[in-house]
Chains A and B, each alone.
Chain A
Amino acid sequence: MSATGAATGAERIAAAFAGHGKRAALMPYLMGGHPSKEESLAAGEAAVAAGADLIELGVPFSDPLADGPVIHAAGTAALEAGITPGDVLEICAALAPRVPVVLMVYANVVLADGPEAFAARAAAAGAAGLIVPDLPQDEADEVRAACDTAGLALVALVAPSSTPERVAAIGANARGFVYAVSLAGTTGERAELPPELSGLVERVRAATDLPVAVGFGISTAEQAATVGALADGVIVGSRVVRAAGEGGADAVGAVIGELAEALRRG
């Protein structure tokens, strides 16, 4: 806690990872403004009610290089419906009193007005942190400094291909938690978890004291339970976005409830 009593984003993230009472924290991804602004807020509320411990809220972008077909299509639909980063920040502000919200936002949106301006807007909307999937360690200094000033955690990503030197540097500069990308590829549901996942989580753990959350390719309760036994957090994206598109908040609540139950059982 800071002197004023307001927790920083990193502190709120740490509290969420410490107090979930499950095998691992559950962090669903929702595309802001998909299928509509109102429905994505309702989906976020349903996710929290069903057991989400943090929310990763996507800012739709024109050229999402890290995303597979489901999230890409959801972002394109949101943009076509006129959703702006400002709209997503309003959704963030509505969810933030109940759950730490980490914005998933591409670099060009963060840099458009300068990273200081974007970090200040995100902090004012109650965001706890940013995940910028196309901002690797080598390019991150300016944005990290802006986030630190604003009280936001710039979450770093590690990939299976990251060299030991890079894992060490990423871990040393990480804020909030470290996002371990489970596989080489874009976001999306996969039938099987990659076999080398536990090795990846161990390599990341050796480089940081922060919680390690795993994302990409996790969609089923069984996969979530397996990952929950290895890591501190489980991130589920495309499955949740698909549910939001197919059945709105009710469907999202049902998917999150099933994933949360699997993490409690485990």
Chain B
Amino acid sequence: MREREFGPYGGRFVPETLIPALEELERAWIEAAADEAFTAELGELLRDYVGRPSPLYRARRLSERLGQDVYLKREDLNHTGAHKINNALGQTLLARRMGKRRIIAETGAGQHGVATATACALMDLECVVYMGAEDMRRQRPNVERMELLGARVESVEAGARTLKEAVSAAIRDWVANSGTTHYVIGSAVGPAPYPAMVRDLQRTIGDELREQVLTAVGRLPDRVIACVGGGSNSIGAFVPFALDADVELIGVEAAGEGVATGRHSAPLATGARGVLHGAFTAVLQDADGQVLEAHSISAGLDYPGAGPEHAWLRDEGRVSYVAVEDDAAVDAFKLLSRLEGIIPALEPSHALAWLLANPNPGGVDALVLSGRGDKDLAEVLAR
């Protein structure tokens, strides 16, 4: 098997037309990341506009209930309410530096779309967001937010009319317009250099977390727990701990209605290897190589693939990937709201649910609360 960026995983399985654009992007990213003016501007925006560093909060009543220390990394307190803004700001800043005046993005629940529309408003760039027609119906307030921010939301009618098709539609746009347009992909997925670039932009989560835990308890946590859809908040949290052999890393996928039903979003815990959206990675597929629809109550985890670096970390045994069903995630969503006065997004509610079922008595765990749950109220209250 060919060596790629992440063992056998990663690569560029895209039409030839896009290869020069990906090569240009990789060069531009390497240059920008080494340019002090660029990193200083991004750092200033992350501090003054996003509100970083995000706090690390010792969840008092949750810790008491589980008989351990639980620290929540509060990405829900970022501007726009999730970790997505870290990546969207970095990529739009890079696009502006590359002279690309038009930005495209995909979105599922709308969090990445809102973050990208926000960054484009700030930087005065044209913004088009592809969103499945079904997701537009389910997430109307986020569609209205994006439009208020000046973005155009393109309805995608193909397939199940959700996130997978929105990514495909954005890639097709980019095939036609890569000369003028930058595609801000929302997770650590896609053709190289996206998985590594998104990881680099999200690792601020893990870098801060590591320092904050050390300050708070004087040692590293026993476990770092994060939810995994495409896997951007989790890869950002995990990577700074990769060489800390004593720190257990747990990625929590969505088991949907149950892994045994086949209606889930857990390609790492269950899936075969294949090509999705330009990368060789963990993919839900049938025996013929047709990509299957994912199922999860959480739109942000409702994706049939995961980033290629996760597939590699799984094979290497560095990260354990587990899956949590819809019902358990909803229970965790309600529990944190009552215990801590924090309404979490449904995505990190999966990570919380795993922790509730697998406590670490007397120990110290850190959990990435990747976003706030306001967007999920209707979904949860309807159950």
Contacts and interface: CB of A to CB of B under 8 A. Distances in A.
B337 interface: no
A84 B286 CA distance: 11
Contact of A161 (B20, B164, B276, B290): B20
A65 B275 CA distance: 12
Contacts of A181: 15-17
Contacts of A113: 287, 289
Contacts of A110: 289
A85 interface: yes
Contacts of A111: 274-275, 280, 289
Interface stretch (A2-10, A48-56, A128-136): A128-136
A43 to B, nearest CB: 22
Interface stretch (B39-47, B147-155, B167-175): B167-175
A122 to B, nearest CB: 13
Contacts, number: 120
A65 B168 contact: yes
B14 A65 contact: yes
Contacts of B18: 161
B13 interface: yes
Contact of A62 (B14, B177, B290): B290
A171 to B, nearest CB: 13
A64 B292 CA distance: 14
Nearest to A84: B288
B2 interface: yes
Interface string A62-105: 11111010001000100100001110000000000000000000
Interface stretch (A21-29, A34-42, A138-146, A227-235): A138-146
A184 B178 contact: yes
* B: contact size bracket: 35 or more
Given A108-B285, A161-B21, A186-B176, 12 more contacts: A62-B290, A63-B164, A64-B168, A108-B274, A108-B289, A136-B13, A138-B12, A139-B2, A159-B19, A161-B19, A162-B16, A181-B17
Nearest to A166: B19
B283 interface: yes
A165 B290 CA distance: 33
A75 B178 CA distance: 25
A185 B175 contact: yes
Given A134-B13, A138-B19, A63 B287 contact: no
A252 interface: no
Interface string B9-50: 001111111111100000000000000000000000000000
* A: contact size bracket: 35 or more
B159 interface: yes
Across the A-B interface, give the 6 residue pairs with the lowest CB-CB distance, nearest first: A112-B289, A185-B176, A159-B17, A109-B289, A108-B275, A108-B289
A83 B189 CA distance: 29
30 contacts: A63-B291, A66-B15, A72-B158, A84-B288, A85-B288, A107-B13, A107-B275, A108-B274, A108-B275, A108-B285, A109-B288, A109-B289, A112-B288, A134-B13, A134-B15, A136-B12, A137-B16, A141-B2, A157-B16, A159-B16, A159-B17, A159-B19, A161-B20, A162-B16, A162-B19, A181-B15, A181-B16, A184-B176, A184-B177, A186-B172
B274 A112 contact: yes
Interface in A177-203: 181, 184-186
A17 interface: no
A158 interface: yes
A70 to B, nearest CB: 13
A139 B11 contact: yes
A161 B17 CA distance: 6
Nearest to B11: A139
Given A112-B285, A134-B13, A63 B2 contact: no
B2 A65 contact: no
Counting chain B CB atoms within 10 Å of each CB, which of A66, A160, A161 scores highest? A161
Nearest to A73: B158
B12 A79 contact: no
A159 B289 contact: no
Counting chain B CB atoms within 10 Å of each CB, which of A79, A84, A86, A112 scores highest? A112
A172 to B, nearest CB: 15
B179 interface: yes
A166 to B, nearest CB: 7
A106 B278 CA distance: 11
